[in-house]
Structure 1
């Protein structure tokens, strides 16, 4: 399986179709070719690139309805996956609404 295939399949689980441009952005972020074989050596870089891409993905429409055809994303699922990746790779979770304590 190529890196391109891996990325597409990861997002398809949530009902999201990513474009070739999206995949190219993730590959450039991870400094890996989309045509490379997906293996344990590039898995961390690709997963981090996916996590960094998800916030921009959530700025798009989450459902589309046209001429009797309807498509929507599992928005909570993708947010949960993002949080999981952030915890796993020590990234700052930009999407969580965790309460913050401030002292005056």
Structure 2
């Protein structure tokens, strides 16, 4: 399996186009035809999540037909990816405690 095949299969449920996969590969400096580097591809997905959200954030409605995306499911996918990689989930806003005692 190649890097491109892995990304195509892993992201198939997120409405990612072939062009989006190419952009993820180029920006992450991954060779599309090389043997799969699972961690490299997962990090590329994490780093290029904005390209994935571009297609997911569109709700389309024409006539009696409509397509809506379950953003909670996408966020769960992203959260699971972050946990698996051991990186920060930047979509989850967490309050930060800062030392402001010098202001008193």
- TM-score where L is the length of structure 2: 0.72
State the Cα distance separating 1:17 from its structure 2 match.
1.7
* Deviation, structure 1 residue 95: 0.7
Q: Which runs of 5+ in 1 are unaligned?
A: none
Deviation readout 1:19-50 (Å, 9 max, x if unpaired):
22211121123322323343xxx000000101
- The alpha-carbon deviation at position 5 of structure 1 amounts to 3.0
Alignment check: 8 A CA contact 1:3 1:34 kept: yes
Please say if 1:98 is aligned against 2:94: yes
2:49 maps to what in 1?
54
Moved over 4 A (4+): none
Within-5 A mapping of 1:75-94: 75-94=71-90
Q: Which has the higher helix share?
A: 2
Task: Give unpaired runs (5+ residues) of structure 2.
Answer: none
Higher-Rg member (1/2): 2
Report the RMSD for the aligned CA atoms in angstroms.
Answer: 2.3
TM-score w.r.t. length of structure 1: 0.72
Q: Is the 8 A contact 2:58 2:69 kept in 1?
A: yes
The answer (yes or no) to whether the contact 2:20–2:51 under 8 Å persists in 1 is no
